Structures are given as C-alpha cells and as structure tokens.
Amino acid sequence: MTGKDSIYAAEQEVKDFTFDENVVEVFPDMIQRSVPGYATIVSTMGKLAGSFAQSNSNLYDLGCSLGAVTLSMRRNIDKENCQIIAVDNSAPMVERCKLHLKGFKSDVPVDVTLGDINDIEIENASVVAMNFTLQFITPEQRYAVLEKIYNGLKPGGVLLLSEKIRGENDQKDNILIDLHHDFKRHNGYSELEISQKRTAIENVMRPDQLSAHLQRLDKIGFQQTQVWYQCFNFCSMIAIK
Ligand code: GEK
C-alpha cells in the first residue's frame, strides 16, 4: 500500500532528494499532487505508444518508477511481438514496480531492470518513453543519452519526453514557478513543504529551457518534434526519427 506524501511536512535539515524507500512509499500521491496533468500525460503517452509501436520491436520506459507509463503503454499495444523494457536506478522503486505490475494481466512481456540510463543499451526500439526522467540526468550527460536513444530507434520510432522546464528568462520562469506553487498549495502542500522540497530537489534536478530541448533534439537528428502538452512548467513532447 502507498500513502500520503508528508515527507517535508515537519521542519528538518533538508538533504538532497533521493528515490529511497520513504519516497517509494508515497510516490503515487507525491507525483499526482506535484505534476499538473500527470494522469492525462501518462494516459496520452500510452495512446501515442500504441500508435507508434512497431511489430517485432522494443518499447522502453526509462526512469519507470512504479511503472505507470509501462502499464499505460502495455494497455495500448496491439502489434505483434513487442516487449517493454522498464529501467530505473532506484532499487526500492524497481522492487515495488515489479510487485505492482504483477497485479495486472497482459500478453505483452515486461522486463523491469535495475540500471542507470547512462549505461544501458537501447536497441530495436519503436518507442522510448522518458516521463520526467531526463531532468535527473546531469546536464553534461543529456546529449549523449538522447543521441544513444536516437541511434537505438528504428526509422519512424519516437521519443516521448516529458520534462519540468525552465522559463526562457527569469521573469517568465517566476511566472511558471508561482503558478506551480499555487497548484501545490491547492493540493494541500504547506508553505514549509513547498519550500523544503524545493531545497531538496534543487541540486538533483536541473531543468532545461524548452528551447534548449527543441534545439538539442533537432541537432541530434529527430525529424519532427511536437509539444503536445504544457501546463505551467511541465511539458510533454514527441520527437519522431
Ligand atoms: C512515472 N516515469 O511515474 N537511471 C535510471 N533511472 C533514473 C536515473 C538514472 N540515471 N535518474 C533518475 N532515475 C515515472 C516518473 S520520476 C520523476 C519518473 C519524478 C529515476 C528515479 O529513480 C525515479 O524513479 C525516476 O527516474 C524519476 O511516469 O519523481 O519527478
């Protein structure tokens, strides 16, 4: 069972955020109350995966956490001989993800792997999903990770990329941050929780500007990139090889 996120409810000496047992325990509540449109994003990623999945190919869910996107993709795949490879580098997440997936039946095989996105191979892929994961890869490694994904995609294959983004200048960024904090307040987070979480995450998650994402995907060689969702500083894109 998972519970309510109260990790930063009490005043504390804030350490860098990690995806440990405590976070795993409350993760569904945390992400739902922190990311505007999370349920819509996950279900749409499933639909897109269903449209772009190719027979005899792999679909990847990188930074799978508890497998929400894996489940959503699996529900929509109707092509033959597809398998999903779900990867996360948090051992407690992977353990809980495996348990969670066991609760649902499907003919599409899923391989849940403990691993670092920087080290894994991507091959014979028709769909690669990164739902709020690239932001946790160090900025210096992002190009290489995306280039590896591009090289592992089949022609016509897609990257489904959701990210928290930074506004294009400080003034625009502050507008987005204020709106996001309002969203969190509305979902029951206190000022203390919002501010302590912000401190915990700031060294761990360094968002790029949307323009930087689009330029990088273009430079790597993706033929088409379309933003299909944005609410405040949360954005989802599809990039087609
Ligand atoms: C969802 N996609 O529910 N290698 C592998 N995994 C990593 C790495 C890495 N280098 N860095 C971070 N992670 C999910 C939500 S959460 C987003 C994704 C968030 C993993 C990390 O352990 C965590 O499970 C996930 O990426 C990010 O749709 O919490 O904001």
> How many C-beta atoms lie closer than 10 Å to residue 43's C-beta?
14
Provide, rounded to the nearest whole percent, the portion of the chain with pLDDT above 70. 99
Residue 183 lies in a domain: no
Global model pTM greater than 0.75: yes
Residue 24 lies in a domain: no
Nearest CA to ligand 1 atom 21: 63
Residue 109 lies in a domain: yes
Residue 176 lies in a domain: no
Token pair of 113, please? 């792997």
Q: Ligand 1 centre and the CA of 210: distance in Å?
A: 19
Residue 129 lies in a domain: yes
**Secondary structure of the chain as H, E, C letters:** CCCCCCCCCCCCCCCCCCCCHHHHHHHHHHHHHHCCCHHHHHHHHHHHHHHHCCCCCEEEEECCCCCHHHHHHHHHCCCCCCEEEEEECCHHHHHHHHHHHHCCCCCCCEEEEECCCCCCCCCCEEEEEEECCHHHCCHHHHHHHHHHHHHHEEEEEEEEEEEECECCCHHHHHHHHHHHHHHHHHCCCCHHHHHHHHHHHCCCCCCCEHHHHHHHHHHHCCCEEEEEEEECCEEEEEEEC
Q: How many domains does the chain have?
A: 1
Cβ atoms of 241 and 221 within 8 Å: the answer is yes
Residue 150 lies in a domain: yes
Domain housing 120? 38-166+204-240
Question: What gap in Å lies between CA 234 and CA 35, rounded to an integer?
Answer: 7
Which of 239, 234, 179 is CA-nearest to residue 40?
234
Residue 98 lies in a domain: yes
Q: Is 52 in the pocket of ligand 1 (CB under 6 A)?
A: no
On average, the pLDDT of the chain sits at: 96
Residue 220 lies in a domain: yes
Residue 1 Cα to chain centre, angstroms = 22
Token pair of 43, please? 């279900």
Q: Ligand 1 centre and the CA of 61: distance in Å?
A: 10
Mean pLDDT, rounded, for 134-146: 97
CATH number of the domain where residue 68 is located: 3.40.50.150
Mean pLDDT, rounded, for 136-141: 97
> For residues 1 and 220, which has the higher predicted lDDT (pLDDT)?
220
- State pLDDT tens for residues 79-122: 999 999 999 999 999 999 999 999 999 999 999 999 999 999 99
- Torsion over CA: 31, 32, 33, 37 (sign): positive
Q: Ligand 1 centre and the CA of 157: distance in Å?
A: 22
Token pair of 160, please? 């489904």
Q: Which atom of ligand 1 is nearest to the CA of 164?
A: 30
Mean pLDDT, rounded, for 42-51: 98
Q: Is 20 in the pocket of ligand 1 (CB under 6 A)?
A: no
Question: What gap in Å lies between CA 215 and CA 108, rounded to an integer?
Answer: 35
Q: Ligand 1 centre and the CA of 66: distance in Å?
A: 9
- The answer on pLDDT for 196 being more than 90 is no
